């Protein structure tokens, strides 16, 4: 591929411009590792032995040791500076982008919409500390630690699934990716609404399911990616690791189950090994784990048709005025080239 082209993401319908010629610019992207600051470990509240520096744990993986003390493998505490209020007022959960949440979406003409109405931002906001060891990236976890960390994600997502419209789990690694504390951890948001991006993906997967008389959109994408092998990075019996067709930035990765399943949190440990393989591939390719973000797309409450996936986005370039203003991402490194580089790194 040498000429710019526009691609449309199958799940969202959003456009990405692939501009490979811009990758030839000097320092087109220079990955910065999420390295530990010399003084960070000495004051880190997430390290074992400093449990008194966080709110009391709401869930923990430990064997026999007392609560809120050493001896744990993964630990969950409320976020000290929550985006959402912990106390949730009674009321129904939203399963769509309703006029109750967005007054401008109300189609009734007999009343004047209140364009400045606000509603309480309630829900859950938790921190999932992956390990008692002070490490800056999930790439530094051994196989057992990684399995415990992902199992804790699923446990907490299941816990909040019944009282949330949507459960969003993220990992930020490095200051450029939004991490305020370098000790590897995840954050969980139990939302009382379905974000527009997730609602849009749900609508497209449901429409595809109806139009094809029962086929699954992401399942069909994976089948085709495995057949073509241009953007396939790795595959096992449970999941595939691909560079998405309309990747928004260099080395964006997606872990997808080979058997379509709606909820990540209810699909056993499917995909855990492949998520770890994605981190390992990036670490090998760049010499150290680049800063980046991970998030999980799982079925919103009440969804009949969806397929979970885990997206990993290394922070290698900066979104500038075109991307922010037009809402169209520009990717200077085509996913076919990224997948080839990662396959080679993982084969070493």
Q: pLDDT for 88-143, tens place per residue?
A: 555 567 665 554 555 555 555 556 667 777 777 889 999 999 999 999 999 999 99
Mean pLDDT calculated for residue range 198-202: 94
Whether residue 111 lies inside any domain: the answer is no
Strands 72-78 and 15-18: unpaired
Q: Residue 304 has what pLDDT?
A: 84
Residue 7: pLDDT band (50, 70, 90) is confident
**Percent helix, percent strand, percent coil in the chain, to nearest 5:** 30, 20, 50
Whether residue 299 lies inside any domain: the answer is yes
Whether residue 113 lies inside any domain: the answer is no
Mean pLDDT calculated for residue range 181-208: 94
CATH of the domain at 124: 3.30.428.10
Residue 218: pLDDT band (50, 70, 90) is very high
Whether residue 145 lies inside any domain: the answer is yes
Q: Which of 255, 262, 259, 272 is nearest to 308 (CA)?
A: 262
Residue 200: pLDDT band (50, 70, 90) is very high
- pLDDT beyond 70 at 68: yes
Residue 31: pLDDT band (50, 70, 90) is low
Domain housing 191: 42-85+92-100+120-347
Whether residue 74 lies inside any domain: the answer is yes
pLDDT tens-digit series, residues 221-238: 999 999 999 999 999 999
Whether residue 11 lies inside any domain: the answer is no
Q: How many CB atoms lie within 10 A of CB 161?
A: 18
Mean pLDDT for all residues in the chain: 89
Q: Which of 71, 81, 74 is nearest to 58 (CA)?
A: 74
How many secondary structure helices (H) and strands (E) does the chain include?
7, 13
Residue 23: pLDDT band (50, 70, 90) is low
Q: Residue 244 has what pLDDT?
A: 97
Contact 85, 93 (CB under 8 A): no
More confidently predicted of 251 and 304 = 251
More confidently predicted of 297 and 99 = 297
The DSSP 8-state label assigned to residue 27 in this structure reads: T
The phi-psi region of residue 297 (left if phi > 0; otherwise alpha if psi is between -120 and 50; otherwise beta) is: beta
What is d(CA 234, CA 281) in angstroms, rounded to the nearest whole number? Answer: 10
What is d(CA 234, CA 251) in angstroms, rounded to the nearest whole number? Answer: 14
What is d(CA 212, CA 215) in angstroms, rounded to the nearest whole number? Answer: 6
What is the phi/psi pair of residue 297, to 5°?
-100, 115
Total domain count, the chain:
1
Whether residue 240 lies inside any domain: the answer is yes
Q: Which residues contact 90 (CB under 8 A, 6 or more apart)?
A: none
Q: Token pair 């000097």 is at which residue?
A: 26
Q: Residue 294 has what pLDDT?
A: 98
- pLDDT beyond 80 at 256: yes
Helix, strand, or coil (residue 172): strand
Q: Residue 26 has what pLDDT?
A: 45
Mean pLDDT calculated for residue range 141-169: 97
What is d(CA 298, CA 266) in angstroms, rounded to the nearest whole number? Answer: 10
Residue 301: pLDDT band (50, 70, 90) is very high
Contact 291, 175 (CB under 8 A): yes
E strand spans, the chain = 5-8, 15-18, 59-62, 72-78, 123-129, 166-173, 185-191, 232-235, 239-242, 253-257, 292-297, 309-314, 329-331
Whether residue 184 lies inside any domain: the answer is yes
Q: Which residues contact 149 (CB under 8 A, 6 or more apart)?
A: 74, 128, 130, 131, 138, 141, 184, 186
Q: Residue 202 has what pLDDT?
A: 95
């Amino acid at each position: 591929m040498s000429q710019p082209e526009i691609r449309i993401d199958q799940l969202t319908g959003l456009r990405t411009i692939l501009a490979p010629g811009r990758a030839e610019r000097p320092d087109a992207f220079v990955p910065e590792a999420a390295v530990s600051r010399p003084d960070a470990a000495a004051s880190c509240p997430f390290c074992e032995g400093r449990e008194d520096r966080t709110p009391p744990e709401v869930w923990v993986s430990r064997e026999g040791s007392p609560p809120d003390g050493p001896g744990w493998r993964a630990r969950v505490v409320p976020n000290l500076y929550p985006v959402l209020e912990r106390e949730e007022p009674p009321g129904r959960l939203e399963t769509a982008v309703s006029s109750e949440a967005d007054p401008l979406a109300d189609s009734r003409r007999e009343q004047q919409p209140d364009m400045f109405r606000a509603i309480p931002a309630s829900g859950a906001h938790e921190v999932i500390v992956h390990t008692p060891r002070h490490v800056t990236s999930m790439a530094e976890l051994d196989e057992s630690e990684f399995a415990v960390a992902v199992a804790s994600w699923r446990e907490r997502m299941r816990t909040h699934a019944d009282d949330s419209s949507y459960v969003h789990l993220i990992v930020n690694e490095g200051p450029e990716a939004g991490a305020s504390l370098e000790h590897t951890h995840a954050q969980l948001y139990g939302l009382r609404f379905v974000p527009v991006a997730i609602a849009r993906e749900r609508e497209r997967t449901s429409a595809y399911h109806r139009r094809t008389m029962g086929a699954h959109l992401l399942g069909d994408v994976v089948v085709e990616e495995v057949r073509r092998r241009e953007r396939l990075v790795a595959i096992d019996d449970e999941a595939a690791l691909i560079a998405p067709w309309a990747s928004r930035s260099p080395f964006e990765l997606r872990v997808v189950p080979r058997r379509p399943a709606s909820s990540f949190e209810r699909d056993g440990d499917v995909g855990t090994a492949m998520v770890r393989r994605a981190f390992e591939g990036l670490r090998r390719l760049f010499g150290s784990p680049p800063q980046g973000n991970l998030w999980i797309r799982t079925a919103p409450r009440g969804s009949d048709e969806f397929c979970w996936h885990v997206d990993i986005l290394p922070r290698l370039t900066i979104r500038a005025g075109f991307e922010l203003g037009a809402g169209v991402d520009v990717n200077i490194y085509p996913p076919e080239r990224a997948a080839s580089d990662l396959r080679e790194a993982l084969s070493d």
